Amino acid sequence: MFNLTGKVALITGGSRGLGRADALALAKAGADVVITDILLESDVDEEALKSSAVGQALRKEGIVYAEQTAEEISRSGGRAAAYRMDVTDEEEVARVVDRVIDSFGRIDILVNNAAMLDHVATIENQSEVLWERDLRINLTGAYNCTRAVWPQMKEQRWGRIINMASVAGTMGGFGQASYSTTKAGIIGLTKSLALEGARYGITSNAIVPGIIATEAWKSGNPKMNERMIARTAFRRPGEPVDIAHAVVFLASPEANYITGIELYVSGGIELFTF
C-alpha cells in the first residue's frame, strides 16, 4: 500500500519542518521528490529575508535543509532535487515547474506547504504590509503553484493537490488574523479545485494540522506553547512525521476516491477538551 514509485512530487516550503518531513516520507514511499523553498543553504536571497523575522532566525541558526534533504534522499537511492522558488513570483514558479518537467518528466503530486506565521498582533495592531505579504505567500502562492502544474496534470489525467491548512483557519487564532484568514482561504481553494479537477482524475485535499513540534514552533514562547498543548486531547504536540504520513496517504492510489476534504491531524485540539 501507498506505493508512489514512478510519481514525481513537488513540495513548496520544503527546507525544514513539515515540508522536509513530507519530502522524506514521499521519497520513502517511492516518489521522486523536488524540494522548493525561498531559503536554500547555498543560495539565500538576503533581500527576501529582511521582511521575515522567522527566516532570519532560522537562517542564523542553520535550520535550512532543502539541499541537505535532497542529498539525503539521493544517498538512499531515490531521485531528488532542491530548487529555489518564490511562490509569490508567478513567472519564477512557471520556470521551476518547466524545469522539473524537463528533468523528471512529469509532476504528479503538488504539496502546497510554503507559508509564513510570524505575524502575530491583535487586529488594531496588524501590519498592513505583513497582511499583504501573508496573503501573497500563504494563499496566492498556493494558487500560483497549482495553476502552474494544472495543465500537465489535466493532460496526464492524474494528479494530487495537497494543501496545508491549519486549525487557525477552521477555529480562528487570537492575534493571527492574517494567518487564519489565509488558511481559511486555502480550504475554499481546495474545495474549488476538487470540483474542477475530478473530471480529469485530479484530487484536491487539505490537511489541517494542529500543534506540530516543528523548529519554528519550538522557538516560540514556551508558556504559550504549553497553553496550546493543554488544548489538545493528547496533551502533547504532534510531530512533523504525523503530517507527512497523511500527505503520503492522500498522494497514494489508496486515496483515489477522496477529494475536497479537510483532514484533521490535530491531536483533537478542535474538540471540547477540559
Residues with a catalytic annotation lie at 179
Provide the b/e sequence for 229-268 (b: ≥16 CB within 10 Å): bebbeeeebbebebbbbbbbbbbbeebeeebbbbbbbbbe
Report the alpha-carbon distance of residue 44 to residue 38 in Å, rounded.
7
Report the alpha-carbon distance of residue 192 to residue 178 in Å, rounded.
21
> Residue 29 contacts by C-beta under 8 Å, 6 or more apart in sequence?
2, 3, 4, 248, 251, 252
Indicate the DSSP class of residue 273: -
Joined grid coordinates for residue 27? 521519497
Judged by DSSP in three states, 208 sits in strand
In sequence order, what DSSP letters do the residues of 149-170 get, joined into one string? Answer: HHHHHHHHT-EEEEEE--HHHH
Residue 213 C-alpha from the chain's centroid: 15
Judged by DSSP in three states, 95 sits in helix
